[in-house]
Every structure is written in structure tokens, then in C-alpha cells.
Amino acid sequence: MLIKRRDDIVPSEITPRPLFERRREFIKALGAGSIAGALGLGSGAAQAGARLAGIQRGPFGTDEKPTSFKDITTYNNFYEFGTDKYSPAEKAGRMKTQPWAVAVEGLVHKPRTFAIEDVLKLAPLEERIYRLRCVEGWSMVIPWVGFPLEKLLRQVEPLGSAKYVEFWTLYDPKSMPGVRLPVLDWPYVEGLRLDEALHPLTLLAVGLYGEELPNQNGAPLRLVVPWKYGFKGAKSIVRIRLTDKQPETAWMKASPGEYGFYSNVNPEVDHPRWSQATERRIGEFFKRKTLMFNGYGDQVARLYTGMDLRKYF
């Protein structure tokens, strides 16, 4: 994945210092292969270790304190590996991410299949510290590494008739025990309106905390849309298709009354089974108020001018 050591990125600048110092000590004393066990991380979390080259500071993000590396990589939603928060870190290590290719097709002038190595050449990698708000009521602040999705879509030249973008996640029953159960209609499919996909905040992430993505966080390529609930962030993407019809996404098919297509963070629209007015930031005791559009309203509210956000939830 075009990964090498970087002398000009200091891990302690983006990693909480106690964790960084502990990891450095363990590397010296035990070797990289023992880090996960020493920190209490699952086998998938051990895969986050190779530094990503050429990271720049992105133009967007928050100055809030990032959630710890351990929490980000051990408390996950990735139903392909299990429906609880800890199974992904325990089981995702069996998923193979090399070789990897992403097909970009549909209503485009130049359909193309990109090897992950080619994807990484499309644009300089940026670090963007984004809030993540999950529909269950918890949240994190994650220092993603990636580049705007727009950079990939421009390579295939969308047709004027393209209105939406579908994202398809890997479906592999051999490495993904969760897909053997009828929890969702597999493979997992997500979607955005094209203008949402082309918005500069929308990120294709290949790493976090300056390192390549762990499997349980969606390696090697995942979607990050910071003003939407976390389930909109399709993980381990293998196919992107542009279409003129609104995609029928996985959670909409499973429960359309609970999970709308837009899924914008909106504290005024409750989930049928709980309030969305507050959230619990992982690592904090007290709840905090949920921000409209997850705090990114200044950048994205214009996308929904004139829309009834209770109807189009």
C-alpha cells in the first residue's frame, strides 16, 4: 500500500502521549507482533502499525481531543464480524486486504477498476480529525487519514444523468462470520446523493492516527461522511456505482422506519426507540448535547435547503 517509514511525522503529535510511549516501549522490548496482546487489543487491531507516507494537514476538521487509539480500534460497529462492539477487533484479522481492488462503474464515462495502490496515488493523503456520531448514541473523535472522495470520482467522469453513488462492502463468508446470519441483506450497501459524495468533507479513509486502517475500522478503504450517522460509512469497499436512482441501502431495507436514506445527524429527530438529543463521547462519563449535522452545519446545511428534514431523515 505504498507504505514506508516517515521521519517528518512524529507519532506523538497525533497519538495520546501515554499510549504512544507505551507502544514505543513495547516495540523495543517485545517486537511489533506482540503489541496487540500487550495493549489488550484484538488481532485485527495489531494490523494498525505501518506508517502512511506523505500525510498533510487537511483543511477541515476539529481541534477536539481525539479518542484514544485503543477505543477507536476495539469498540466498533462492523456487522460482518458480529453485532456486538468487540467482535470486529477479535475476528476481523482473518480478512485479507492484499491484494485489493475497487471497481468504479455505472453512469460514468470511464469505468475503471483501481488497485488499492493506484487509489493511494490519486491525491495527497490528509489528516482530518472528524467527529463520529453513531445512531446508538455514542460518539468519538477520530484522526482519519485519507483524501476527498471527489478525487476518485473525477477519475471516472460521472455522466450528467448520475444522481447517486452506491458503495458496496466486501462479502466474504469465509472471513466474515457475521454474514452467515440474516441480520442484514448482504452484501452491505450504502449510498449518497452525488452532491453529498462530491462535498469536500466527504472522505475516503485509508488510515487513522497516521497508520493504515485496522481491519475492524474498514481496511483498506472506507467512507467517512462526518455530518451523517456512522453507519453511512461503508467499510472495506470493493465497488462504487453511480446511478440515477436512489440506492436501496442495507439499513433502509432492514428497517426503513428507523434508518432513512439521508441519515443526517439531527437531534430533533428521534430514533423510534431512543432520543438523539444527547450522546456519550467514548472516554467521557457525562453525556453532551448532540449538534445538528454533527457540528458541520456551516459546511453542509446548504445541501438540504428547502427539504423537510423530518420527512427526509
DSSP of 27-95: HHHH-GGGHHHHHT--TTGGGTTSBBSS-EE-S----SPPPPHHHHHHS---GGG-SSSSHHHHHGGGS
- How high is the pLDDT of residue 33? 37
pLDDT digits (tens, 9 = 90+) for 157-201: 999 999 999 999 999 999 999 999 999 999 999 999 999 999 999
CATH of region 11-134+141-256: 3.90.420.10
- How high is the pLDDT of residue 85? 97
CB-side neighbour CA atoms (13 Å) of 221: 28
56-to-61, 62, 123, 125 alpha-carbon distances in Å? 13, 15, 11, 6
Residue with cell 460482518: 80
DSSP states of 213-241: PPGGGTTT-EEE-TTB-GGGS--SEEEEE
- How high is the pLDDT of residue 42? 39
Q: Return the bridge partners of 165, or none.
A: 192, 242
Residue with cell 453511512: 232
- How high is the pLDDT of residue 48? 52
Which H or E element spans position 160?
A: none
Q: Give the predicted TM-score (pTM) of the model.
A: 0.85
Q: How many residues are there in the chain?
A: 313
Q: Return the bridge partners of 108, or none.
A: 158
Residue with cell 446511478: 243
The string over 202-236, giving b where at least 16 C-beta atoms fall within 10 Å of a residue's C-beta and e elsewhere, is: bbbbbbbbbbbbbbbbbbbbbbbbbbbbbbbbbbb
- How high is the pLDDT of residue 30? 35
Quickly count: other Cβ atoms within 10 Å of residue 56's Cβ.
13
Q: Return the bridge partners of 243, or none.
A: 164
- How high is the pLDDT of residue 59? 86
pLDDT digits (tens, 9 = 90+) for 56-90: 998 888 999 999 999 999 999 999 999 999 999 99
Please say whether the beta carbons of 209 and 48 come within 8 A: yes
| Per-residue cell: 43 | 488481532
What are the residue ranges in the chain where pLDDT is below 70? Answer: 1-49
Of 79, 82, 206, 209, which is closest to residue 152 (Cα–Cα)?
Answer: 206
- How high is the pLDDT of residue 49? 63
